[in-house]
């Protein structure tokens, strides 16, 4: 078995997407990848979703865990995870630190898959599906309605049979409109869904994303009563799920909401670690859990969480809004979990997806086909690293006074323009 000789962090910044509708809201994305090198010349690659949000913090944390891995083999990846987790339970038991461990662990599974010539899902318990439904994740709801229809037409033209739209309306001014009056918010979503169902019929999967019931530039959020009124208004339109209608600070509200509406409630992308997930699972906060195999804490941990949800007759829909490594990590986890209902897919993705994934991702008739390449099926070329060097400040965050995402995007654009003119 090859021995680990080095662990390296690769930070990148590039176009957020090729999606012309999502690009109106977000132009750039950052990403953090991990390379685990061996004395046999094999390299494992993983990604942490942290890199989409705060990549600047990532390298020093990876260096912190690096000595634990040097000189080790890939015989027991869960043991390596356990040593990293046990080493720093004060800042890596949950949140950012556990997300760092997640990125490293993904690279270890990728490496082990390459060594054993197996796709990673085979190492996580085997493939449970011949194919999996997919939906195009589209960010905010572009408005006016002709723009919303053009957005949906675009996703259907790419082969998807389902899509996710944001709550509220986005007119391209940088701040989605989201009402905090319960009846007004309910009327907006009912009107939107009636338009979509009338135009596209009963067979497409429609999902809504409440983005934790908040909006950029403010701290107002939906409470459980508001979310319940909105969800009741959505019931006639056969939603596949309503994602994050509430903030994660309110698990009690989530549990209450699930009892008050027939609309399936989804969530979990922000949750990390087994204890945090267990609280939400045991309270029946979600009809559909959304672990992220680049942030939740590890690929195996995602499978374990899916199994806990399965025991309570709940489904999962993997969250995947990192770059290409994140997408493939979640696809492998999805195929390893018996209760996967659907996979989130970034449609019309940009080069930090396409050049990392290559031909490993296959969508056919609206369904994802199991990857066949050893490991995760991703690569990081030297050319890609040269083309998309990291630009500090290119991560995503919620707007608050003093820190604007639009201004951050403008600064990245200015840096790229200066580089082009140099």
Half-sphere exposure of 197 (CA within 13 A, CB side): 16
pLDDT of residue 178: 84
| Alpha-carbon gap, residue 279 to 48, rounded angstroms | 24
pLDDT of residue 417: 86
Are 297 and 102 in contact by the 8 Å Cβ rule? The answer is yes
Distance, C-alpha 4 to centroid of its chain: 28
The domain locations on the chain are: 4-118+380-421, 122-368
Asked if CATH classification 3.80.30.20 holds for the domain at 122-368, the reply, yes or no, is no
Are 397 and 26 in contact by the 8 Å Cβ rule? The answer is no
- List pLDDT tens digits, range 41-91: 999 999 999 999 999 999 999 999 999 999 999 999 999 999 999 999 999
Fold adopted by 4-118+380-421? Enolase-like; domain 1 (3.30.390)
Give the predicted TM-score (pTM) of the model: 0.97
Digit-by-digit pLDDT tens for the chain (422 residues) are 899 999 999 999 999 999 999 999 889 999 999 999 999 999 999 999 999 999 999 999 999 999 999 999 999 999 999 999 999 999 999 999 999 999 999 999 999 999 999 999 999 999 999 999 999 998 899 999 999 999 999 999 999 999 999 999 999 876 678 889 999 999 999 999 999 999 999 999 999 999 987 765 566 789 999 999 999 999 999 999 999 999 999 999 999 999 999 999 999 999 999 999 999 999 999 999 999 999 999 999 999 999 999 999 999 999 999 999 999 999 999 999 999 999 999 999 999 999 999 999 999 999 999 999 999 999 999 999 999 999 999 999 888 889 888 898 899 989 888 887 87
pLDDT of residue 217: 57
DSSP string, 78-104: HHHHHHHHHHTTTTSSSHHHHHHHHHH
On the question of a cis peptide bond just before residue 89, with omega within 30 degrees of 0, the verdict is: no
pLDDT of residue 218: 62
Instruction: Report the b/e string of 221-254 with b at 16+ CB within 10 A.
Output: bbbbebbbbbbbbbeebebbbbbbbbbbebbebb
- List pLDDT tens digits, range 356-412: 999 999 999 999 999 999 999 999 999 999 999 999 999 998 888 898 888 988 999
């Amino acid at each position: 078995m090859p021995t680990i000789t080095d662990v390296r962090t690769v930070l990148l910044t590039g176009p957020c997407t090729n999606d012309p509708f999502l690009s109106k809201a977000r132009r750039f994305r950052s990403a953090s990848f991990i390379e685990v090198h061996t004395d046999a010349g094999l390299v494992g690659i993983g990604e942490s979703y942290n890199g989409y949000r705060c990549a600047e913090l990532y390298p020093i944390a990876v260096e912190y865990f690096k000595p634990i891995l040097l000189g080790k083999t890939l015989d027991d990846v869960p043991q390596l995870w356990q040593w990293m987790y046990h080493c720093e339970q004060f800042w890596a038991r949950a949140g950012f630190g556990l997300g760092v461990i997640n990125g490293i662990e993904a690279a270890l599974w990728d490496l082990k898959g390459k060594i054993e010539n197996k796709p990673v899902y085979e190492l996580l318990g085997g493939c449970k599906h011949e194919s999996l439904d997919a939906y195009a994740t589209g960010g905010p709801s572009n408005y006016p309605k002709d723009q919303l229809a053009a957005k949906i037409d675009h996703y259907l033209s790419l082969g998807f049979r389902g899509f996710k739209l944001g709550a509220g309306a986005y007119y391209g001014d940088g701040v989605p409109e989201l009402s905090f009056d319960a009846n007004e918010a309910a009327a907006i979503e009912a009107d939107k869904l009636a338009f979509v169902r009338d135009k596209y019929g009963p067979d497409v999967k429609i999902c809504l994303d409440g983005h934790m019931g908040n909006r950029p530039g403010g701290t107002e959020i939906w409470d459980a009563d508001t979310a319940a009124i909105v969800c009741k208004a959505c019931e006639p339109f056969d939603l596949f799920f309503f994602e994050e209608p509430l903030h994660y600070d309110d698990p009690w509200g989530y549990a209450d909401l699930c009892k008050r509406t027939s609309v399936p409630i989804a969530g979990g992308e922000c949750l990390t670690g087994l204890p945090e997930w267990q609280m939400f699972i045991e309270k029946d906060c979600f009809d559909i859990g959304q672990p992220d195999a680049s942030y939740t804490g590890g690929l195996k941990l995602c499978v374990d969480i899916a199994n806990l949800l399965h025991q309570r007759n709940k489904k999962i829909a993997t969250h995947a809004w990192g770059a290409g490594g994140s997408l493939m990590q979640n696809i492998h986890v999805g195929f390893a979990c018996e209760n996967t209902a659907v996979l989130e897919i970034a449609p019309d993705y940009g080069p930090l997806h396409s050049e990392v994934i290559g031909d490993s991702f296959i969508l056919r008739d609206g369904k994802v086909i199991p990857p066949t390449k050893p490991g995760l099926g991703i690569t990081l070329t030297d050319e890609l690293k040269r083309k998309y060097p990291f630009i500090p400040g290119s991560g995503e965050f919620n707007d608050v006074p003093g820190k604007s995402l639009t201004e951050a995007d403008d600064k990245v654009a200015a840096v790229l323009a200066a580089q082009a003119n140099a």
